[in-house]
Structure 1
């Protein structure tokens, strides 16, 4: 849950709380998957699309720096 955030931290691209970031990402993914499994999401707003946008928003809010 926190592996990717630790890598970003080690690269100097993330300075926030690794555990909190991991929980936020997991929550975004879990919520989207559960909605899709219960039939509440349909393309183009399927679990992948919803989770991707949510994780992007979380990364932006947590001030993750772009690679390079």
Structure 2
């Protein structure tokens, strides 16, 4: 486990946290989504985009 990895502020999980990726996903990104290495945030970047997603508790955070 990477000790520098971001942890979820809600459930404190580190191994279930992934970066949120915005924009139209390329094939490589879709493969990372399947491996839960990243989370798709949508094609349009919101005004205050979240940077992280926790697959354990479904929380998005910065």
TM over 0.5: no
Interval of TM-score (by shorter of Structure 1 and Structure 2): under 0.3
Tell me the TM-score normalised to structure 1 length.
0.24
Higher strand share: 2
Tell me the TM-score normalised to structure 2 length.
0.25
